[in-house]
Structure 1
């Protein structure tokens, strides 16, 4: 776990937080979901899959599964690096900063949920992950 580093964006950041707590590894969180079990409630039922003709059925039990892996408190803040954009159109950046208080943080003025300008922060992310 000392050499392992996870990088997760949005819901992937939520999962990365859970896994980092379980495994004791580092995690970089890019505009991570904070309460997806609440945020995704509006999407219950059949949902289109982007760039596909497929659909998925979003079930209430999926929200229960997300709630079951919620990390209410970060145990080792030094293992986390939050990258949050004030221009995120889906998740309020202030909730990210609050959830990951005490962790290394990079708050980007503007940008968007996808962090379209991620290349500008890649070196900092890789350095945190221990990649020269």
Structure 2
């Protein structure tokens, strides 16, 4: 299974999530794609991700890969350490308990209307999920944009020593040109035009 974790105030309708799903369908492996609508509570969001992983494993899919964007990238780092799986981080949040302190209260969602309410307890939940040092960095692929207007790409690179790292000059927080990188992301996760590819394929 490939588990895609969207960012803060985002959803499965994010353009990066849609690109990943569309490519997997094109390659005939769409059935392996999962992207839950994550709860605003970090503890509940991670519980949703864990439930998706358990469901895939119960269905016989023992190979898990995770792709996380922004706040979803923060969750992906924690989950990657828990499950020892391939993990792709797209402009990931590194210390969101600080970043989101200025977003307490009701916040509008990017897709479909509606809003979420960020509570002080959510900041502690984020602290509880922090990863101080990644292990087996070869399992990680970081894509960081120098033009990210929300997060500092240098903190992302510093948080992933030894990982496979691609720094994009310019771009933005959403990685507007993600279509140029989606195939590399999927190859790292073990997917190609013919479906699943042998373990070890992907970014060197």
TM-score interval w.r.t. the shorter chain?
over 0.9
How many residue pairs get aligned? The number is 132
Deviation, 1:21, is 0.5
Asked if 1:65 is matched to 2:65, the reply is: no
The Cα offsets for residues 33-79 of structure 1, whole Å up to 9 and x where unpaired, read as 00000000001122223345533221100010011010110011011
Give the deviation of 1:129 after TM superposition.
0.6
Equivalent-residue separation in structure 2 for 1:120 and 1:26 (angstroms): 20
**Structure 1 unmatched runs, 5+:** none
Find out whether 1:6 has 2:66 as its counterpart.
yes
Instruction: Identify which of 84, 92, 98 aligns with 1:24.
Output: 84
Which position in structure 2 is the counterpart of 1:115? 175
What TM-score, normalized to structure 1?
Answer: 0.94
User: Which residue of structure 1 aligns with residue 199 of structure 2?
Assistant: none
Which residue in the other structure is 2:101 paired with?
A: 41
Match of 1:126 among 160, 169, 186: 186
Distance, in Å, in 2 between the alignment partners of 1:116 and 1:66 is 27
Deviation at 1:93, TM superposition (A): 0.5
Secondary structure of the equivalent of 1:50?
A: coil
- Give 1:96-107 correspondences, 5 Å limit: 96-107=156-167
Higher RCO (C-alpha under 8 Å, 6+ residues apart): 1
Cα distance in structure 1, aligned partners of 2:155 and 2:68? 17
The answer for unaligned runs of 5 or more in structure 2 is 1-56, 193-204
Q: More deviation in 55-64 or 90-99?
A: 55-64
RMSD: 1.5
